[in-house]
Amino acid sequence: MNKDLILVTGGAGFIGSAFVRYMSSKTRILVLDLMTYAGDMRRLGEVPPEQMSFIRGDICDEALVSHILNTYRPKAIVHLAAESHVDRSIDGPQAFMKTNVEGTMNLLNCATNYWRSLHEGDRDQFRFLHVSTDEVYGSLTFDEHPFCEDSPYLPNSPYAASKAASDHFVRAWHKTFGLPTLITHCSNNYGPWQFPEKLIPLMITKSLQSKPLPVYGDGSNIRDWVHVNDHVAALELVLDRAIPGSVYSVGGNYEISNLNLIKLMCATLDRYAPRLDGLSYQEEIIFVQDRPGHDVRYAINTTKIKSELGWTPSVNFSEGINQTIQWYLNAQDWIRDISNLSTYQQERLGIGVVRSNQS
């Protein structure tokens, strides 16, 4: 086993690339990514070439995954490859079933075969970290206690259902086959390089394009937000210190309604990039028909990961959102490249049309 190598699936995605950038100074990384619309190698541009290798491929490809594991022999797999956009899961759930469920099960099968081939000491050190979401728990009311590791699974969207199914397979592989797995559930991530189908970059992009800012329903749906850098720091701790079979919740301890978040972003943009007509970007907010099965509230109890592993979020949300908005203001070339898609792709991804993902 190569004790200086981690295999990261989905490593060219938003969270995956943040993890690769964060870990590349500490260990070598092998990225496996299919490079769908959400993958972008520019996210990995600052990673030293000697610290990262890249393979373009599908986690559903059994022969490829087995070859990678047996050839490169990583000390751990950090599984971040996933379809993650709720609106897209409503429009086309089959892709979510294939990637999130079948892909995860294929990884588990291949990882188990590889793990069994290791020497006993190496088997004890190997880890399979599966990165999931708080959406598997369904929806909270406004006054319910936050989700914790023991919360029942009640997924309400095809995306959440696919992630819930993958979680169950990961747990089953640990219980049945002994594979040393770990699971994390995170709340909404934000930060640089997030694809502009998600709420924060979508609202920034639409604002700068002088387009309407669509808000589902009355905008009262509440989300907990964690900066992506805090999230990947938590993943490192779980990978290094957690006992196989463990589950941890990762959240930013910052709840805000979608409408208030958009208003906050508008006020920030008013300062950093004021409109030529002198009006606030809030003037462009419109309310649109609510999304089917739209969860009311997500919130995360981070007591376990704090008490057992010593993790707490370090990025203050006010500072983090300001830095994120400034990053997008300075990344207009990337935004233009992303937006230069076919009309069909734009409609599917919610760019340039009145749609939004406020998951």
Tell me the CATH number at 158: 3.40.50.720
Q: Which of 310, 183, 304 is nearest to 247 (CA)?
A: 183
Together in a domain, 123 and 184: yes
Together in a domain, 21 and 160: yes
311 lies in a domain?
A: no
> Could you tell me which residues come within 8 angstroms of residue 25 by beta carbon, excluding any fewer than 6 positions away?
51
- Give the sign of the dihedral formed by CA 139, CA 140, CA 141, CA 142: negative
Q: Which residue has the tokens 């892909």?
A: 103
Q: What pLDDT is stored for residue 92 in this prediction?
A: 86
Rounded-to-integer distance, Cα 277 and Cα 273, Å:
12
Together in a domain, 53 and 13: yes
Together in a domain, 177 and 206: no
153 lies in a domain?
A: yes
308 lies in a domain?
A: no
| Residue 347 clears pLDDT 50, i.e. is over it | no
Instruction: Report, as an integer, the average pLDDT of 43-47.
Output: 95
| Residue 145 clears pLDDT 60, i.e. is over it | yes
| Residue 359 clears pLDDT 60, i.e. is over it | no
Instruction: Report, as an integer, the average pLDDT of 9-27.
Output: 97
What domain range is 60 assigned to? 2-190+224-250
CB 233 within 8 A of CB 310: no
Q: What pLDDT is stored for residue 43 in this prediction?
A: 96
Rounded-to-integer distance, Cα 199 and Cα 251, Å:
17
20 lies in a domain?
A: yes
Instruction: Report, as an integer, the average pLDDT of 172-196.
Output: 97
Q: Which residue has the tokens 């910052």?
A: 254
Rounded-to-integer distance, Cα 208 and Cα 353, Å:
14
The three-state secondary structure class of 70 is helix
Together in a domain, 234 and 211: no
Q: Which of 130, 215, 197, 198 is nearest to 169 (CA)?
A: 130
Q: Which of 225, 219, 227 is nearest to 300 (CA)?
A: 225
Q: How confident is the model at residue 303 (pLDDT cuts 50, 70, 90)?
A: very high
Average pLDDT, the chain: 93
Together in a domain, 184 and 265: no
Q: Tokens in use for 33?
A: 């990514």
- 350 or 84, which is more confident? 84
Together in a domain, 126 and 208: no
How do residues 102-117 score in pLDDT, each as one tens digit? 999 999 999 999 999 9
Rounded-to-integer distance, Cα 254 and Cα 260, Å:
12
Together in a domain, 105 and 242: yes
- In the chain, count of helices (H) and strands (E)? 14, 12
Q: Which of 217, 230, 358, 197 is nearest to 286 (CA)?
A: 217
- 324 or 352, which is more confident? 324
Which residues are designated catalytic?
A: 134-135, 159
Q: Give 314: exposed, middle or buried? Use CB within 10 Å, 0-12, 13-18, 19+.
A: exposed
Q: What total number of domains does the chain contain?
A: 2
305 lies in a domain?
A: no
26 lies in a domain?
A: yes
Q: How confident is the model at residue 29 (pLDDT cuts 50, 70, 90)?
A: very high
Q: What's the distance, CA 231 to chain centroid?
A: 9
Q: What is the DSSP string of 123-146?
A: HHH-EEEEEEEGGGG----TTSPP
Together in a domain, 245 and 280: no
> Could you tell me which residues come within 8 angstroms of residue 173 by beta carbon, excluding any fewer than 6 positions away?
108, 112, 128, 179, 181
Q: What pLDDT is stored for residue 90 in this prediction?
A: 85
357 lies in a domain?
A: no
238 lies in a domain?
A: yes
Torsion of CA 145, 146, 148, 151, to 10 degrees: 70
Q: How confident is the model at residue 185 (pLDDT cuts 50, 70, 90)?
A: very high
Instruction: Report, as an integer, the average pLDDT of 149-174.
Output: 97
Together in a domain, 157 and 276: no
Together in a domain, 60 and 203: no
Q: How confident is the model at residue 344 (pLDDT cuts 50, 70, 90)?
A: very low
Q: What is the DSSP string of 269-286?
A: HHHHS--TTS--GGGGEE
Q: How confident is the model at residue 342 (pLDDT cuts 50, 70, 90)?
A: very low
- Give the sign of the dihedral formed by CA 161, CA 89, CA 135, CA 111: positive
CATH number, domain containing residue 287: 3.90.25.10
Helical axes 258-272 vs 317-329, angle rounded to 10°: 60
| Residue 345 clears pLDDT 50, i.e. is over it | no
Among 128-132, 285-289, 343-347, the minimum mean pLDDT is found in 343-347
Together in a domain, 56 and 170: yes
β-pairing, 213-216 vs 52-56, is unpaired
Q: How far is CA 291 from CA 180, 214, 288, 356, 358, in A?
A: 38, 12, 9, 9, 9
